[in-house]
Structure 1
Amino acid sequence: MRYLIVAEAYRDLERLSSRLALTERLAALLAQTPADLLPTVCYLCQGLIAPEFAGVDLGMAEKLAVRAVASTTGTSAEQVAALVRETGDLGQAAERLLTSPATEPAGLTAGLEVGEVVRTLREIAAAEGAGSQGRKLELLAGLLARATPVEACYLLRLVTRNLRLGIGTPTVLDALAQVHAGGKAGKKVLERGYNICCDLGKVAATLVSGGLAAVEGLRVQPGNPVRVMLAQRLADAGEILARLGGQCAAEYKYDGVRVQAHRTADGRIELFTRRLEEISDQFPDVVELLAAGLGPSEAILEGEVVAYDAAAGELRPFGEVMLRRRKHGIDQAVQDVPVGLFCFELLYADGEDLTMLPYPRRRAALEAALTLSPRLRLTTAAEVTDPAVLDATFAQAVTDGCEGLVCKSTGPDSGYQAGARGWQWIKLKRDYRTELSDTADLVIVGAFAGRGRRAGVYGAVLLAAYDADADVFRAVTKCGAGFTDADLAALPARLAPLQSPHKPARVDARQEPDVWFEPGLVVEILSAELTLSPNYTAAWGQIRDDAGLAMRFPRFTGRWRDDKAADDATTTRELAELFLNARRTPAGG
């Protein structure tokens, strides 16, 4: 299969904005794709060459990619860099150079094959050590020398992590269902398959080889992260118990990094974040805790890594555990910031998929699987049937240094719903119990140039909540308060890889920021209240036909939620629930 087919589809996708049109064009690409290459093309549509959790890093520095373009086109790196500044994009610059008669490689533009592109990109990703930069340069230049101009454009965007197509995994699943699963009816099966393995290529391969029945037969497996189950949120203890059938397990909600630990058959222990980053090297002490205290020879366990003084029995602030998220100086960080692992779920143990079991049986299996120690703990949990007891448990959790509670259903249908944000789990956090304070994890989708003292940096950002039903990010507020000068100085570099020359297809906003960004960076925001607004699109039409929701007096709390992917952000549905709950609760109540 020619890579040009994929590149041309990329170009078409980049120009489309409606979810339906994007799905149709993607379906056309998948229909053209041979069965043996379908997993590969699905990865390519994610901007990847392997499952995200595999950690295959294609992030080639732009300076090195510029040198590869210069080598291929017979120009200088300075000339290429100047054209990049003019066009704002290395891919466009390369396409222009390769289209020019003065620089087009003679007779060497027959084009690339998908298979050779991916094989070479794997070699580029694997190159390390002495001479690796030269090897990467040689391999990329070799591909560019045989690429058509449009292939070169998107190949360069892929290797420099600038491939922005306006589609997420849900849209790829829509297209897969349309082509290979009989339409929308098969989407739920594909979603579940993806949620329990986080591998779009595996789902695609299983689908084309065995049909929907084979995808339904997929089970959780150590080594393949499971998309985490998420919670709704409410502020009233009585309403929480009513939602959960009159009783719940109230677990402490710790303020740390949620991890999913996998012990595979070879004894290896891997730690994954909810963003599918493998962080075992950053927390070798947690790996050691599990090696000593986790019983099953194969297992998938979830817990919260928290900065923790075991001698004093004291939980430390979230900011301290984030100091552990580094690539260098790990040994010193382990000494400076000791952590504990507070475990709350067991999803798999020695051949048994536990996700379908009700919560009480999973909790019992978790307790049996662990040999506890001062820093390997179970989350504190209590069975509750009375609103007053739930309020008291909440107050004790806050006193003990936690954010609040996660109230979990204990009924027969309380299985672990991978990737779902349903009413089986409900968060009760202290932020929601204050009269006019609601925190939300929102995604930066735009920025406004600073003025006055903030001239030369971004003065405010446009923030959006995630609409999971439409796979779109809808604007909810503009925020400049709470950012320190250091925060603002760091923002351009943090956001540069996400910058877009136009409003991204997955962003729904009526505002016109000075710079647009693809959804990627999540921040925690504190707001005085939610209000109806004709100018913001979050939860549009859910409360009133001609209005969405906006935040009043938003303020950045100082917490960068690097542990969260964009689609883990607060949803528009959650915001609507918060608004309605606040309307039902009298001031001071």
Structure 2
Amino acid sequence: MQFSKLSTLYGRLEATASGNELRQILADFFKETYQKNPEELSILTQLSLGKISPDYISAVLGVAEKLVLKAIAKASGRSVKEITKHMHHLGDAGLVAELVLKQKAFTLVPTGDLTTDELYQTLHKIKDIEGSGSQDIKEKILISIFQKTTGQDSKYLARIILGNMRLGVADMTVLDALSICFTGDKSNKPRLERAYNVCPDIAKIAKQLADKGIEHIDEIPVKVGRPIRVMLAQRVASLSNMSEKIKSNLFQVEAKYDGERVQVHKERDGTITLYSRRMENITDQLPDLVEYLKKEIHVMAVEYILEGEIMALSEDAKIHQSFQTLMQRKRKTEIEKYIKKVPVALYVFDLLYLNGESMMNKPLIERGESIDKILYKKNRIRRIELIQTESVDEVQSFFEKMLKDGNEGVIVKSTADDSHYKAGARDWNWIKWKKDYMQNLVDSFDLVVIGAFYGKGKRTGAYGSLLCATYNHKTDTFESVSKLGTGLTDKTLEELPFILREHKVVKKPARVIINKEMTPDVWFEPFLVVEVIAAEISQGKMHCAARTPGSDRGLALRFPRFIQIRADKGPEDATSSEELLSLYEGI
């Protein structure tokens, strides 16, 4: 397929303001591709996201914006100074490429049409180039592919290279489109999502559909070395509601630490890989933890997938440190220095796979017994602190102990026969209870920034407040829930334009739902997640969260206060509209 055809698709996706139309455009494109050339479908589903690999495989091309602009300059016969000036004005390398490559200098005629397969292979080639002179080699390759494009093709080529399409298309959107493509509607999306939860690779899902059809989509297995989407906990309005929701007499109550959730994969050849909750490979940041895993997990565990919480420790490895301290380990340089300065421990709370067998459909207690068998030194790889009880009062006592010890709260889990690990699901078998409840606050919420309003007074000329949304999992949309200004420091407001610059768009993204009265001065593609606290949840006409069809009233957060940016969460990991509704109704 010619890349120009794919860029035409991108153009249509960017132009639409309707989420349903967005999905239908994708579905029609996938169907046409499947009918003409089924082998192309997997690559095109990946490229429809502007990616060459799933998130868990590092697809960073090692190409900075500056290098892309330099390549655009040489491909168009313009000076770097002129291109930089355009970039300063437009703020998007794609728009710069579209502007200057509409008509190339007469000596720089296109060398031939660019195909999607050629682009895909070329980008993988760029990704693998390392060492001395690598930037010069990458520049030459970039110039050659830009010379094969003009106008709109150039715009989307630049955006793919920089990994920022600004189309509002995400993995869940593509799953909707694949369901429509292969079954006529979205009714089979839950089946596709279950497969995606154990195989978060859109290209593999598409290939399975193309090769075997929807009937065999459930056959995709758990695979060590490929992350599983994490199971999430529900929330209740009060502890008294907990026993009504968890259908087991015996509760397992686990500490909720202020650390980073991680999934550990050990393959049969001994390779150990660490994945964040966003499925990013963070192994290189924590070489010391990898060594502890090798020493402190029993050799009987030939291959496994386990989950736990990484905690920062004091230099004597005895006292827990804050999440902010742990974030010092998020670096590519001075790793050895920070291994000593910020030692870590892993607190294991689940086991998903062991020695060729998935553990996900086994009850919680059985999974826990297997954890105890393979943890044998418990120096830096430790079992999470927990109790098992039938008493809500004992749950409360353990919760208070956790707060006294400086932890966030507890996770209460069912021990019933059906207490399975449900990948990617927010399930009532797990309920979280945090210290925010003790402060007469509803709780903290993770919201997605979808827009900004310019400030007044001392904030004139800068962003003064943010428009935030919850994520509606059922409709794959982001619904406005709050205008956030309180708690934003001058430093944060100064940083936000730089953080959000690459995600700024000229009109409302198709998957964003707001009331016209809340139209912001600046729109953003859903990307940044922020943690806020609020006094209560109210219902009114200003916001759209959890709004039912035919109603003009949605949920909103009253008196929200900014706490921090949540770089560890993606937009689809934010607080859901369904979760907000449950809290509002006191469930």
The 2-side partners of 1:181 and 1:264 are apart by 36
Task: Provide the residue aligned with 1:587 in structure 2.
Answer: none
- Equivalent pairs: percent with the same residue? 39
Change (3 A) 1:47 1:305: same
Question: What runs of 5+ residues in structure 1 fail to find an aligned partner?
Answer: 585-589
The 2-side partners of 1:188 and 1:444 are apart by 27
Q: Report if the CA contact (8 A) 1:110-1:148 is conserved.
A: no
Q: Report if the CA contact (8 A) 1:97-1:104 is conserved.
A: no
Determine if the alignment matches structure 1 residue 541 to structure 2 residue 548. Answer: yes
Query: What residue identity is the alignment partner of 1:232?
Result: Q
Task: Provide the residue aligned with 2:3 in structure 1.
Answer: 3
Determine if the alignment matches structure 1 residue 336 to structure 2 residue 311. Answer: no
Determine if the alignment matches structure 1 residue 567 to structure 2 residue 569. Answer: no
TM-score (norm 1): 0.94
The 2-side partners of 1:104 and 1:530 are apart by 62
Task: Provide the residue aligned with 1:519 in structure 2.
Answer: 526
For residues 392-444 of structure 1, the C-alpha deviation after alignment (integer angstroms, 9 at most, x for no partner) is 12111212222111111211211111111121111111112432342111111
Query: What residue identity is the alignment partner of 1:252?
Result: A
SS at match of 2:397: helix
SS at match of 1:53: coil
Change (3 A) 1:312 1:190: closer
**C-alpha displacement at 1:175, in angstroms?**
1.6
Query: What residue identity is the alignment partner of 1:273?
Result: S
**C-alpha displacement at 1:107, in angstroms?**
5.1
**C-alpha displacement at 1:106, in angstroms?**
5.9
After superposition, where does 1:107-256 map in structure 2 within 5 Å? 108=110, 110-181=112-183, 183-245=185-247, 246-256=249-259
Q: Report if the CA contact (8 A) 2:317-2:343 is conserved.
A: no
The 2-side partners of 1:104 and 1:198 are apart by 46
Determine if the alignment matches structure 1 residue 289 to structure 2 residue 295. Answer: no
The 2-side partners of 1:426 and 1:130 are apart by 52
The 2-side partners of 1:168 and 1:516 are apart by 17
**C-alpha displacement at 1:53, in angstroms?**
0.6
Determine if the alignment matches structure 1 residue 261 to structure 2 residue 264. Answer: yes
**C-alpha displacement at 1:456, in angstroms?**
4.0
The 2-side partners of 1:565 and 1:383 are apart by 33
Moved more, 254-263 or 493-502: 493-502
Query: What residue identity is the alignment partner of 1:18?
Result: S
**C-alpha displacement at 1:87, in angstroms?**
4.1
After superposition, where does 1:295-374 map in structure 2 within 5 Å? 295=298, 296-309=301-314, 313-374=318-379
Q: Report if the CA contact (8 A) 1:255-1:403 is conserved.
A: yes
SS at match of 2:530: strand
Change (3 A) 1:436 1:373: closer
**C-alpha displacement at 1:566, in angstroms?**
1.1
After superposition, where does 1:417-436 map in structure 2 within 5 Å? 417-436=422-441
Moved more, 305-314 or 59-68: 305-314
Moved more, 308-317 or 149-158: 308-317
Change (3 A) 1:69 1:389: same
For residues 161-206 of structure 1, the C-alpha deviation after alignment (integer angstroms, 9 at most, x for no partner) is 2302122211211221222356434322211111102111111112
SS at match of 2:585: helix
The 2-side partners of 1:86 and 1:237 are apart by 54
The 2-side partners of 1:153 and 1:115 are apart by 18
Change (3 A) 1:372 1:16: farther
Q: Report if the CA contact (8 A) 1:233-1:574 is conserved.
A: yes
Query: What residue identity is the alignment partner of 1:77?
Result: V
Q: Report if the CA contact (8 A) 1:482-1:555 is conserved.
A: yes
The 2-side partners of 1:152 and 1:213 are apart by 39
Deviating runs (4+, > 6 A) in structure 1? none
Moved more, 232-241 or 411-420: 232-241
SS at match of 2:280: coil
1:556 is aligned, of 551, 562, 565, to 562
Q: Report if the CA contact (8 A) 1:98-1:104 is conserved.
A: no
**C-alpha displacement at 1:567, in angstroms?**
0.8
Determine if the alignment matches structure 1 residue 76 to structure 2 residue 79. Answer: yes
For residues 562-584 of structure 1, the C-alpha deviation after alignment (integer angstroms, 9 at most, x for no partner) is 11111111111111222222xx8
**C-alpha displacement at 1:59, in angstroms?**
5.9
Task: Provide the residue aligned with 1:18 in structure 2.
Answer: 18
SS at match of 1:108: coil
After superposition, where does 1:28-67 map in structure 2 within 5 Å? 28-33=28-33, 34-58=37-61, 60-67=63-70
SS at match of 2:75: helix
**C-alpha displacement at 1:247, in angstroms?**
3.2
Question: What runs of 5+ residues in structure 2 fail to find an aligned partner?
Answer: none
Query: What residue identity is the alignment partner of 2:21?
Result: A
Query: What residue identity is the alignment partner of 2:114?
Result: L
The 1-side partners of 2:404 and 2:90 are apart by 55
Q: Report if the CA contact (8 A) 1:181-1:211 is conserved.
A: no
TM-score (norm 2): 0.94
Moved more, 154-163 or 231-240: 231-240
The 2-side partners of 1:109 and 1:11 are apart by 23
SS at match of 1:371: coil
For residues 61-88 of structure 1, the C-alpha deviation after alignment (integer angstroms, 9 at most, x for no partner) is 2221111111111111222233334444
For residues 197-239 of structure 1, the C-alpha deviation after alignment (integer angstroms, 9 at most, x for no partner) is 2111111112222223432111211110000001111142231
Change (3 A) 1:254 1:144: same
SS at match of 2:313: strand
Determine if the alignment matches structure 1 residue 465 to structure 2 residue 465. Answer: no
**C-alpha displacement at 1:89, in angstroms?**
2.9
Q: Report if the CA contact (8 A) 1:23-1:174 is conserved.
A: yes
Task: Provide the residue aligned with 2:403 in structure 1.
Answer: 398
Query: What residue identity is the alignment partner of 2:481?
Result: V
**C-alpha displacement at 1:484, in angstroms?**
2.3
Moved more, 134-143 or 312-321: 312-321
The 1-side partners of 2:504 and 2:393 are apart by 49
Change (3 A) 1:398 1:109: same
Q: Report if the CA contact (8 A) 1:444-1:461 is conserved.
A: yes
Change (3 A) 1:277 1:144: same
The 2-side partners of 1:534 and 1:332 are apart by 53
**C-alpha displacement at 1:495, in angstroms?**
1.4
Moved more, 89-98 or 249-258: 89-98
Task: Provide the residue aligned with 1:388 in structure 2.
Answer: 393
The 2-side partners of 1:93 and 1:165 are apart by 17
**C-alpha displacement at 1:472, in angstroms?**
1.1
**C-alpha displacement at 1:508, in angstroms?**
1.6
**C-alpha displacement at 1:244, in angstroms?**
0.9
For residues 474-510 of structure 1, the C-alpha deviation after alignment (integer angstroms, 9 at most, x for no partner) is 1111222222222222222111222112222222223
SS at match of 1:17: coil
Query: What residue identity is the alignment partner of 1:165?
Result: L
Moved more, 473-482 or 444-453: 444-453
RMSD: 2.0
The 1-side partners of 2:258 and 2:141 are apart by 45
Q: Report if the CA contact (8 A) 1:181-1:187 is conserved.
A: no
The 2-side partners of 1:403 and 1:165 are apart by 37
The 2-side partners of 1:445 and 1:324 are apart by 29
Task: Provide the residue aligned with 2:98 in structure 1.
Answer: 95
The 2-side partners of 1:212 and 1:392 are apart by 49
The 1-side partners of 2:115 and 2:312 are apart by 49
